[in-house]
Amino acid sequence: MTRRDFIRTSAMAAAWSAAAATPDPTKTRSYNPDMEYRQLGRTGLMISAVSMGGHWKRLPYKQGTDEFRKNRRAVIYACMEHGINYIDAGWSGEVETYAQALKGRRNEIYFGFDWTEARDPAMAGSLEKLKAGLDEGLRRNGLDYVDVWRMTLREQTTRNTPHEIETVMEALEWGKRTGRARCTGISTHHRPWIAEAVAKYPQIEVVITPYSAGSKEKPLGSMFEALRQHDVGLIGIKPFASGAIFASQGTPDSETKQEDDERARMALRYVLCCDELGTALPGLVTVDQVHNAAAAVRERRQFDVAEAQRHEELVSAMWQNLPPGYQWLRDWEWV
């Protein structure tokens, strides 16, 4: 048995053991008593209520520069100091960036990983390409395994074919069976399909999908019913609706920073009232934004009357201010 095989097998055994018992949050990675931890469905992982999205929108540094690398390293280190212990890297550039930033500290955080591009029909339709893609991503980034192998699927107007979906599920099963992935899941914006998918495919242990400051559970026919029934972990992206909730549209260190920080905390307090949400996944661009997100977790969760009215006004403006490429988020008001 090679060292890599041993590590993969050990990781798989640890996942089985964790899933069989009630996880102890104090044993989770980068535990901080000031952070809240939630069980991610049936995965056995205890992850921070607020985590780190891999995107770096509006970061004023070009990817690959010294300033960029310094920023990403400082932000992820600040996350771990606050007890934020999950990062979601949604494409190869993000995987490379954070694998490099985490060198020497890999075991302090749970790594969500998407190296293979399942939105490409040529990739999604080939089991061998999906397998080779995962192996390439692990090898190139010096990783023995990944905590959450989550593939991003096509959605909205163009969708993966049934054959592509079956192939993706077969690949995910292989990844977990061989110890390359501790647990598996998908990222999709195609909400009507989620309930059907989690009932059909046990490989979907985690779903990464929008849940914003204006989202609410639909009284009847909600996807939450299926997530609860099948104990699937939910990671909510776009809590700030791509910056639409901010006075500055999300520009870091703007003239409205104090106002935007308060809006960010209010948005996070709101989404964390959703008990089925394993974690909210904002894009954190600066160390100060990390401090602010951690502060939101410590604040009182429920709004008083004045706060509720203010939140309603902010959300109404948020829906109106969605960027042109994010008008589809309107469909996520009732989830």
70-109 pLDDT, tens per residue?
999 999 999 999 999 999 998 899 999 999 999 999 999 9
Alpha-carbon dihedral 16, 20, 22, 23, rounded to 10 degrees: -10
- Please indicate, yes or no, if residue 13 is contained in any of the structural domains: yes
> Of the given ranges (117-121, 159-163, 266-270, 319-323), which has the lowest mean pLDDT?
117-121
Residue 81: strand, helix, or coil: helix
pLDDT score for 120: 86
Q: Give the pLDDT mean for 104-122.
A: 91
- Please indicate, yes or no, if residue 63 is contained in any of the structural domains: yes
Distance between CA 124 and CA 323 in Å, rounded? 29
Distance between CA 78 and CA 85 in Å, rounded? 11
Q: Is pLDDT above 80 for 7?
A: no
Distance between CA 48 and CA 296 in Å, rounded? 12
Q: How confident is the model at residue 157 (pLDDT cuts 50, 70, 90)?
A: low
Distance between CA 290 and CA 294 in Å, rounded? 6
Dump pLDDT digits (tens) for 122-151: 889 999 999 999 999 999 999 999 999 999
What DSSP string runs through 239-300? TTTTTTTSTTTT-TT-TTHHHHHHHHHHHHHHHTT-TTEEEEE-B--SHHHHHHHHHHHHS-
Dump pLDDT digits (tens) for 218-233: 998 899 999 999 999 9
Burial class from Cβ neighbours inside 10 Å (0-12, 13-18, 19+) for residue 314 reads buried
Please provide the average confidence, as pLDDT, over all residues in the chain: 91
Burial class from Cβ neighbours inside 10 Å (0-12, 13-18, 19+) for residue 326 reads middle
Q: Is pLDDT above 70 for 5?
A: no
Q: Is pLDDT above 60 for 11?
A: no
pLDDT score for 4: 55
pLDDT score for 192: 83
pLDDT score for 86: 98
Crossing angle for the helix pair 127-140 and 92-101, to the nearest 10 degrees: 30
pLDDT score for 137: 95
pLDDT score for 18: 47
Q: Enter the DSSP assignment of 153.
A: P
Dump pLDDT digits (tens) for 286-298: 999 999 999 999 9
Q: Domain containing 179: what range?
A: 3-321
pLDDT score for 167: 95
- Please indicate, yes or no, if residue 326 is contained in any of the structural domains: no
Dump pLDDT digits (tens) for 173-204: 999 999 999 999 999 988 888 999 999 999 99
Tally of structural domains, the chain: 1
Q: Give the pLDDT mean for 274-302.
A: 96
Q: Which CATH number belongs to the domain containing residue 84 in this structure?
A: 3.20.20.100
- Please indicate, yes or no, if residue 330 is contained in any of the structural domains: no
Report the side by side order of strands in the sheet with 233-237: 52-53, 86-89, 110-113, 146-152, 181-187, 206-210, 233-237, 277-281
In sequence order, what are the residues at sequence separation of 6 or more whose Cβ sits closer than 8 angstroms to the Cβ of residue 207?
Answer: 185, 186, 187, 188, 194, 198, 227, 232, 233, 234, 235
Distance between CA 68 and CA 240 in Å, rounded? 23
6 vs 19, higher pLDDT: 6
- Whole-prediction pTM: 0.91
Q: Is pLDDT above 50 for 283?
A: yes
Q: Is pLDDT above 50 for 245?
A: yes
- Please indicate, yes or no, if residue 334 is contained in any of the structural domains: no
| Backbone phi, psi, residue 299, to 5° | -75, 160
**Looking at this protein, which amino acid is placed at residue 55?**
H
| Backbone phi, psi, residue 160, to 5° | -65, 145
Q: SS3 helix, strand, coil % of the chain, rounded to 5?
A: 45, 15, 40
Do the Cβ atoms of 18 and 184 come closer than 8 Å? no
Q: Is pLDDT above 50 for 262?
A: yes
Q: Give the pLDDT mean for 21-45.
A: 94
Q: Which two tokens stand for residue 271?
A: 């989404």
- Please indicate, yes or no, if residue 93 is contained in any of the structural domains: yes
145 vs 115, higher pLDDT: 145
- Please indicate, yes or no, if residue 37 is contained in any of the structural domains: yes
- Please indicate, yes or no, if residue 123 is contained in any of the structural domains: yes
